[in-house]
Structure 1
């Protein structure tokens, strides 16, 4: 869970310390088929236009595989709120639940 909504107010987690404050998801299990019933989702507050994904190799995170950064638009700049370690299989439309 990287965000929540209460009383019509969106709360975005991990936005206080720039790129040093984020959730690290280490065992991402994406949905692999329509019959797959055990898979991970990420809860985000707001809507997909407030987020973007960036694939990169982040020093000190996991192995040599690329990671996916989950970025939230905050005050006209992109704030890192999460990293999916060693995976580029995350999709906002498929794997995120917006509240």
Structure 2
């Protein structure tokens, strides 16, 4: 069970990063509508990562290996990346 949750968390982290980073690039290119759509997908992945993050914490009761903790911590910074994408989109709208 723990392994499946960890795999889901990793998958959602990758998806969030991919779509948020692509949203930033598209916003900088002036493709605001596309950037917004990509950010929406990134936010869905962030939400799913947050759910997996909580499940992992509950099932492990905080007892994580170093590698698991690194993945766990990475999920906690996804909000920063999506906020960065949002700010780039806002710049593009001015």
Structure 2 length normalisation: TM-score?
A: 0.27
Q: Tell me: higher relative CO, structure 1 or 2? Use CA pairs within 8 A at least 6 residues apart.
A: 2
* Higher CA-based Rg: 2
Higher strand share: 1
Higher helix share: 2
